[in-house]
Structure 1
């Protein structure tokens, strides 16, 4: 009996040990972690155009205040605030009745003057014949000639008066001097408009502003030392026989890049001693009206003839600590390595690499939060 019990205990103990060993093996297999999955980028040289960046603002090529040349009651407005208009579009109408009356009066005065001239012309011709026969006195002859000359001068005066009245009538209809975008009308229908000609004109007399926007300027200042570096390229705007080979791009305040390339339009004629810089103006096509005068932005001027092959890495892959900028590089066995880099200029969402990486190197672009130096990772969908 004792022997049977002892054997049972031994069998039970062996079973427990075997089960325990199996559970440990299963636990060991269950906790074996999978490799972190990351996306990587294989670096290859690509053309890079060095550029310089300058801060500035957009400005209109042409902007005017529409000021009336004649006064009167505003009868009609032919636009809505903020409208785009074409050259020659009718903007305002001032009550023309007083100007029509002035034209008619001037025409009547001119006809009267012509009748007077006709009469004095006949009298002068008759006096010339009579003086030869001494049928009239010299004084009578002189009077006839003087009346003729006076009537002739009166014709010129009345013609000028009529022309002035016709111009006033013409000025009662106000047209757009060029194509552009209107601001807000400062007067409403029924209000009295006062004419005030330059140089006495003020904003108070302005009816509305008109800005040309199909092309737009970008004004910025270039430091004297920097200007010396790019002078050979920028100065070609003063010599039409040379080709300007600049890549000019505009980045707006929201970080977006304007789709159209610009060109240098003008360069100042002197260095501002107070700032040590020179005024430069670029011009951009704006036929879609996406740019407005007064916008803040950053212009990039790239010298195409200095284009070189270099490496670009995504800004999102760059990390930083007290030692500097670094990326997570992958070895041939997909082991993560912390690699410090020296970076150059930004090109959109990328940055140029000056040193620290070579062609063919692989860096982690996604999954950075899951890795650390020294661990092995699984690479998925590598980018090129």
Structure 2
């Protein structure tokens, strides 16, 4: 199945890919067809994208609209470089998703610099709406109280951040007995909105509206949602063409200012087309998790998702992160970090989760119990390892100890 609103011209896509010599010959078979269809074009992966970087730079330098170099990637990898038109496609986005207006004062809590995309993006969203922007960026907890007191003087009405940041920030207000600003709107992107953050929002700011965008640094914004929408469901931008290939999300960016070779690009997520809870008639995209390959641990293949699903069987677990140490070596070990609900005994939950995961993920349980009993541990924590560039909270991190 596919969904798009903008006219899709396969010959135009073939012309676009002819500008990328490192990929162009992969399209020769399609060019030889009298009427090539989208399904005749190859699926591009992140490795294809990375290998085409010199060609993409040359394309960017040939354009008249200017481009910004950005980076994507989690704490387990170095940033993958990407290009976006300097205007960030903001007019096309604002025509579909414009949660702010000129009366708003937005606290931009996404980290600036280091090739991170979100800070620049939300500044542009606010500018397009005529709103006042406070480009604060993420603040270390030691200085957070002082900065938040300052923000409170500016009558802030909106906040943008990752869901991790939103949850942590509101919990800080609670922990320090501060009254949060009257945030009426919370804008988010970068990672799925988890249950823990959502519960915190509903507890601390019960009347706040949630407005999210879904996409990647490579594809740019694919879809959006707002009040009344399911948190995992997004309405597609007209300039994006989305296909599902055995559940994997493929994206073709049709915007004329698109610089990257986003043609049937395999994003790395799984999805399905659905009707959104908000009642809109158009089909929306539900994002169902990562389309990640299995990882090898203790000589067996497991997927992070099956470990997460087993962990979440315990009702007191609100969030999960997998930390790998010395991965690939004889001494490798896994620490399953969990956040627990208030009022429970963390040690009891740790023991129960340890038992459940090794039972449910039986291959892992067998290897741990028979070969490496000290290679798997469960620990309740107050915080997870966060990418200090993007402030996303990766599901899997490597060699990242917590205090």
Question: Is the structural similarity TM-score above 0.5?
Answer: no
TM-score, structure 1 length as denominator? 0.16
The structure carrying a bigger strand percent of its residues is 1
Higher normalized contact order (CA 8 Å, seq sep 6+, divided by chain length)? 1
Larger Rg, first or second structure (1 or 2):
1
TM-score, structure 2 length as denominator? 0.15
